[in-house]
Structure 1
């Protein structure tokens, strides 16, 4: 009988990733130092390196977690069993909520990462681009279903409209850092969607 090698991990890896994600989200990649991560995860240096490799690997793991959570939320909003226009309105309302007031000031880990690292770090660039492509595809699918149901305005192409909507919500993430009023952002989101919907 073969005995297991080494001691089993005595901590919740996913909880540690989530705590690290919060640090990176608050401070940015370059603004986060190893002692910040050790404090947040409550791990020793040796345990952190054994579990995640290094700061960059832990950051990629945290970014993957953030992306997975965002895609799960989008999949719920665009559940094909629901009306696609309702899904689009829910999707936009969620971004309005996340980009208004104190929520908006926190910003978006993905957008902050794109601004800080995407032009310099190939792994980060690949992840960010993949997320935007996946998001755009889900929005386009909802718009295609709306078109099939006769709910899109004449001349609206789902792929182009999806690109516009993704650019809009990511722009909300940036302007959200100034904590805009929720009502103003919601009115803008409604006006944009009304350009596409009958």
Structure 2
């Protein structure tokens, strides 16, 4: 099909957020189980895994267990399929092929649906001459800032009292950062590292 699921939105906000949604679902299931059955959450993990793998998933149109094994899971509560005949040979291959086609089609529909949700929030970006932009996106780690981090201005001063010691602090505005990202720094450290700021 030529498409792939994206499991992370850290550096690509247009992805479907599948990991975040799955984690939220598992958190909700664990919370409900711990409230109902009491005890530590880690003792309920196998039960949660079983419940999640046997839950209907709209993206594939069936439960993950059924997608993997080609039949619904038999639990102690439901033994009605014990007597079914075993499939072998070309019949098994045909059923498996049909299941794969069904899953592929359901995944394509889910991806189209997720793409339409992402397209609703997508905005066209406009750039001006002189703007710094990435020509190629790659999985960067952390926040990228252009230029060196240097203090630009002292915005405020205060003193912090710790037991029997008073430490003078200054609120520093940094280059390439907004005022909301200004930080409180010890004045003596800033005088030592950036004496030009105090002249």
TM-score w.r.t. the length of structure 2 is 0.25
**Bigger Cα Rg:** 2
Q: Which has the higher contact order (CA 8 A, sep 6+)?
A: 1
Structure (1 or 2) with the greater strand fraction: 2
